[in-house]
A and B are shown apart, each in its own frame.
Chain A
């Protein structure tokens, strides 16, 4: 196993100044509790018996350092559990890193887990205002865009119905419609969430191209290598929480393919040093 000391560089790499996203030496560790006491009684008994909470520690990100310039579109790739989603959550400021710093300049639109801020008792229209406020819009901004949001969602006939009666597809479309209207400077996208029917997907793709033309910085987590090579300016490969490769999409995708092959031959963990050493 890699020790932390080996991975920490003595001198931080110099970074470009004009960056929209600046990630320096970020470390994030998670705890997975196998049995966690949530009550005072259980906690006290566990302590008296000398059996405190059991957990496993899991180093999700180690020494992650990169900068993304304004207007760049970057694909983040890696195997399952490599740390891609954690990285997006750190960028979205949902979790704080244990160590290191993250700076994101401008308005951030995180499209990671859509609809997290919805309130099921309220109507679609009220939820647009709530979700918009969560994403950083003020009331006047939302009022100005409400018609366009409702139209984009494609569910105008249900907009004044409480969303507890919505299907999951309708919910995601509503959330995506709001997120697509906040004019972000930085867009974080988890492609697992590519949603809706073909027409809605086409609409979303068009919207993304509009963002790019407007100079928006986009970070995309994806497993579809075609999207990386076709759409992105750059790719970052992450494995076991470490940045393995960072550069032109086709080079990084090639490294990723080697990593997967090596992983199939030698087992999951052994693959990383093999590829990293190349």
Chain B
């Protein structure tokens, strides 16, 4: 049998383009395809729930502390960073631990969600090559599972905020939609990275480094006011940073996020989700061969 070098410059590209899809249909498909996939996902929401439950149970199966581990990690980070920045660097930010913890909770979610989504399709090869179902559910479950940790962290966060004298306010109503926008962003990123990781196994190493860099490029240890004007574009380019600073302002200073923040985040989410659904829908046709 022959090999086909001309059609083989990169099998990701060929798998994505689909072997029999004429180019002129690509634009029209790129609108109808994501809608079809979303419909298929919604129809199997019962399976999504089961997959989330499985992810959650398998994560802590056999560990004594179970769910406590998820809280131990951000709390340890909080302890170390508080020591470094409040005691050693003597930061001027008031109520620094609570300021810091808000950022850590969101970054920790982003980290877990994106990392586990990236590995999710590779890790579910058995499932994907043997049972037919919308494969988007696998990275989707990987992103949604760590939301349980976020909910638990919020118990700590809100308790600590009240102890530090932050009063609850109606602006807190903006927190769930902000968090939703972060989750949708992670889903879009997860769809892209999980399908890419099937064809390029080292994607996860890049993701690891990328997420770590984002930690320092996001206003977690510092306030965005401390960033020099000349570097402000860096903050605007980083959606995680935008969410974190908006979240913290809303939570601690009772500032309702501006229309500009909402529109930037919604536009960005829509774009990333659209790209993610398109890439995944095309890449998943090659999963049974590639896994």
- Contacts from A to B (Cβ < 8 Å): 29-31, 36, 38-41, 43, 47, 52-58, 89, 92-96, 98-99, 108, 110, 112-113, 116-117, 119, 121-122, 126, 129-130, 133-139, 162
A34 to chain B, nearest CB (A): 8
Given contacts A40-B200, A99-B20, contact A110 B3 (CB under 8 A): no
Residue B47 is within 8 A (CB to CB) of chain A in the complex: yes
Task: Say what secondary structure dominates the interface of chain B.
Answer: loop
A33 to chain B, nearest CB (A): 8
Given contacts A92-B132, A119-B54, contact A134 B9 (CB under 8 A): no
Residue of A nearest to B47 (CB): A133
B50 close to A31 (CB less than 8 A)? no
- Write out the residue numbers on chain A whose beta carbons fall within 8 Å of the beta carbon of B47: 133-134, 136
A154 to chain B, nearest CB (A): 23
- Contacts from B to A (Cβ < 8 Å): 1-5, 8-11, 19-20, 44, 46-47, 49-51, 53-54, 57-58, 61-62, 126-127, 129-133, 199-202, 285, 288-289
- Write out the residue numbers on chain B whose beta carbons fall within 8 Å of the beta carbon of A40: 200, 202
A156 to chain B, nearest CB (A): 21
B13 to chain A, nearest CB (A): 11
Known interface pairs A38-B201, A135-B131, A136-B44; 17 further A-B residue pairs with C-beta atoms within 8 A, sorted by A's residue number: A31-B11, A38-B199, A41-B202, A52-B9, A52-B10, A53-B8, A58-B1, A89-B288, A93-B132, A94-B288, A116-B129, A117-B127, A119-B57, A121-B61, A133-B50, A134-B47, A138-B46
A129 close to B8 (CB less than 8 A)? no
Distance A129 CA – B47 CA, assembled complex (angstroms): 10
B212 to chain A, nearest CB (A): 19
B112 to chain A, nearest CB (A): 19
Distance A235 CA – B33 CA, assembled complex (angstroms): 36
Distance A223 CA – B260 CA, assembled complex (angstroms): 66
Distance A23 CA – B185 CA, assembled complex (angstroms): 38
Given contacts A117-B127, A130-B54, contact A55 B8 (CB under 8 A): yes
3 nearest interchain CB pairs?
A116-B130, A93-B132, A133-B50
Distance A138 CA – B200 CA, assembled complex (angstroms): 35
- Write out the residue numbers on chain B whose beta carbons fall within 8 Å of the beta carbon of A95: 288
- Write out the residue numbers on chain A whose beta carbons fall within 8 Å of the beta carbon of B200: 38-40, 43
Distance A40 CA – B133 CA, assembled complex (angstroms): 29
